[in-house]
Amino acid sequence: MDGLTEQEIADKVGYKTASTVHKRIAKIVGAYEDYVTVEYQKYLDKLTDAETAAVTEMVAAAVSAGKEIL
């Protein structure tokens, strides 16, 4: 529902207030962030020691070169 206000969304889905839409969107965002965090951690846990060392080395090199990480 790109481009609609929260009140317009509320009207379309049958909610009484825009606040209800806002709270629902916030709940969905939170659930998505939790999912992404868990999945990324699973990915990190699967990295081998060599891969972890390589990533650590690349980050250290970038930092020493003055590049900002995150």
Domain ranges of the chain: 6-64
Q: How confident is the model at residue 4 (pLDDT cuts 50, 70, 90)?
A: very high
pLDDT recorded at residue 70: 65
pTM of the entire predicted model: 0.58
Q: In whole numbers, what is the pLDDT of the chain averaged over residues?
A: 89
pLDDT level of residue 43 (50, 70, 90 thresholds): confident
- Residue 36 burial class via C-beta count within 10 angstroms: exposed 0-12, middle 13-18, buried 19 and up: exposed
Which value, to the nearest 10 degrees, does the dihedral of the CA atoms of residues 14, 16, 22, 24 take? -50
More confident residue, 58 or 1: 58
Q: Would you list the DSSP string of the chain?
A: -TT--HHHHHHHHT-S-HHHHHHHHHHHHHHHHHHHHHHHHHHHHHS-HHHHHHHHHHHHHHHHTT----
Q: Determine the pLDDT at residue 52.
A: 81
